[in-house]
Chain A
Amino acid sequence: MALLPLMYVSSETKVMSSWRTTKPVIDYSKCTRCEICWKFCPDMAINLVTDPKLKTPNDRFNALEAPSIDYDHCKGCGICQAECPFGAIEMVREEI
């Protein structure tokens, strides 16, 4: 049988965190769940989660899905911070 490269391994099994020098941190008390950060993430590193324990600027946002950074796959580009209309994301320097 010929040696054929038939294996499929999703790249999501790789951890990309070492690529990062700064990391985004969400201040949920300012986050309106607009999902703009999710929309513009080139690394699909923002998941949408339902977690009623997260803070909100207003209780009516409680029922909405909230963005959650996947630090295994975030490369720290900062697009989410730059695009957040509510200043709810801060880039924090990674400790070495």
Chain B
Amino acid sequence: MPLTIPKEEYVNQGHTACAGCGAALAMRYVLKGMGPKTAVAIPASCWAIIPGEYPYTALKVPLLYTTFASTGAAISGLREGLNAQGKEDYNVLAFAGDGGTADIGLQALSAAMERGHDVLFVMYDNEAYMNTGIQRSSSTPYGAWTTTTPVGLKRNFKKEKKKYVSDLMIAQNVPYVATASIGYPEDLERKVAIAKSIKGPKFIQILSPCPPGWYYNTADTIKVSRLAVESKVFPLYEFKSGKFTLFKPSKTTSIADYLSLQGRFKHLNDEEIKSIEEAVEERWKLLLKKEQN
């Protein structure tokens, strides 16, 4: 069979991501699309330790580690520094987790997008602070167990809804915004290729399931990724030149199927699952409306 995604690898074997890591796949796919002329900035996150301990490194491209809050500023600096040397043809990529994007890194991200540097910011969304041991982030969905929303007798699971940074980026009118999933690598590669072709700021949010953080079997990473899209829990969309396009999965699954695969949702009762279903449906309708406008 002809390969459906580029063959070249820019992530080395022997990285220290957990078995079945969704974030490892996200980086693998993004760099396939970006190619060797790319400088990457990574803040505190799982990906700050996945490349391994010095002198080992798991990337075939230069990697600048940054402080937690400053990814957006770091890619701005890399871009302007390279441009000052006439290296406009090199790509600058940010690869940050959901904490480093939705929480502590949001200000620097928003500012970098507003200033319009020619950069791609990728948020690999594993829906919690996984590197520090599964603490709640603003990107953690309603209903999830985390170590800081530990359910208990008082049922203190996460009560707040997920914050969608991709929606915020659309509100900011970033030239290219997309959501993607590691369960659909061809679609992801297409989106990276589009992002690469646009001069200016770009943002892609990639759902990157985490076996230890979501409590599912390591073999199910791709299955969980697909179910998230098929159940409309994580809709795939694109926003380009002001036009919004929503991907409608040909095969749909129930939200209960998606939730039941993951230990982080096992405490939820029927009523709580129903409220998730309603919220997902409501958001889907909103996105459809957005597409029509």
**A11-B57, A14-B56 given; A44·B12 CB < 8 A:** yes
Is A82 positioned at the interface, with any CB of B under 8 Å from its CB? yes
Contacting residue for A11 out of B13, B217, B220, CB 8 A: B13
A11 near B58 with CB under 8 A, answer yes
B14 near A12 with CB under 8 A, answer yes
Total interface residues on A, CB under 8 Å, equals 38
A11 near B20 with CB under 8 A, answer no
Residues of A within 8 A of B17 (CB): 42-43
Expressed in whole angstroms, the Cα–Cα distance for A39 and B25 within the complex equals 9
Expressed in whole angstroms, the Cα–Cα distance for A13 and B15 within the complex equals 10
- Across chains A and B, the number of contacting residue pairs, with CB separation under 8 Å, is 105
B57 near A44 with CB under 8 A, answer no
Expressed in whole angstroms, the Cα–Cα distance for A7 and B24 within the complex equals 23
Residues of A within 8 A of B9 (CB): 44
Expressed in whole angstroms, the Cα–Cα distance for A10 and B60 within the complex equals 8
A78 near B217 with CB under 8 A, answer yes
B184 to chain A, nearest CB (A): 11
Total interface residues on B, CB under 8 Å, equals 38
Expressed in whole angstroms, the Cα–Cα distance for A32 and B5 within the complex equals 18
A44 near B28 with CB under 8 A, answer yes
Expressed in whole angstroms, the Cα–Cα distance for A40 and B15 within the complex equals 16
Residue of A nearest to B58 (CB): A11
Is B286 positioned at the interface, with any CB of A under 8 Å from its CB? no
Residue of A nearest to B62 (CB): A8
B interface, over-half SS: loop
Among A8, A39, A42, A64: residue with most chain B CB under 10 A: A42
Expressed in whole angstroms, the Cα–Cα distance for A8 and B59 within the complex equals 10
- B window 175-232: CB within 8 A of A: 185, 211, 217-223
A73 near B13 with CB under 8 A, answer yes
Contacting residue for B56 out of A10, A34, A42, A48, CB 8 A: A10
Is B55 positioned at the interface, with any CB of A under 8 Å from its CB? yes
**A7-B55, A44-B11, A83-B222 given; A77·B19 CB < 8 A:** yes
Interface string of B10-41 (1 = CB under 8 A from A): 01111111111110110010000000000000
A43 near B57 with CB under 8 A, answer no
Expressed in whole angstroms, the Cα–Cα distance for A79 and B222 within the complex equals 7
A10 near B217 with CB under 8 A, answer no
Contacting residue for B14 out of A34, A73, A76, CB 8 A: A73
- A window 53-72: CB within 8 A of B: 64, 70, 72
A90 to chain B, nearest CB (A): 12
**A35-B1, A75-B19 given; A43·B56 CB < 8 A:** no
Is B4 positioned at the interface, with any CB of A under 8 Å from its CB? yes
Residues of B within 8 A of A82 (CB): 219-220, 222-223
- A window 1-25: CB within 8 A of B: 5, 7-16, 19-20
Among A11, A20, A40, A72: residue with most chain B CB under 10 A: A11
Contacting residue for A8 out of B15, B21, B55, B211, CB 8 A: B55
Residues of A within 8 A of B153 (CB): none
Expressed in whole angstroms, the Cα–Cα distance for A14 and B1 within the complex equals 31
B218 near A14 with CB under 8 A, answer no
Is B141 positioned at the interface, with any CB of A under 8 Å from its CB? no
B24 near A43 with CB under 8 A, answer yes
Is B150 positioned at the interface, with any CB of A under 8 Å from its CB? no
B19 near A40 with CB under 8 A, answer no
A-B contacts, 7 of them at CB < 8 A, read A13-B56, A15-B14, A38-B3, A40-B185, A43-B13, A43-B24, A83-B222
Other than A11-B14, A82-B222, give 6 A-B pairs with Cβ distance below 8 A.
Answer: A5-B54, A11-B57, A13-B14, A14-B56, A38-B3, A42-B21
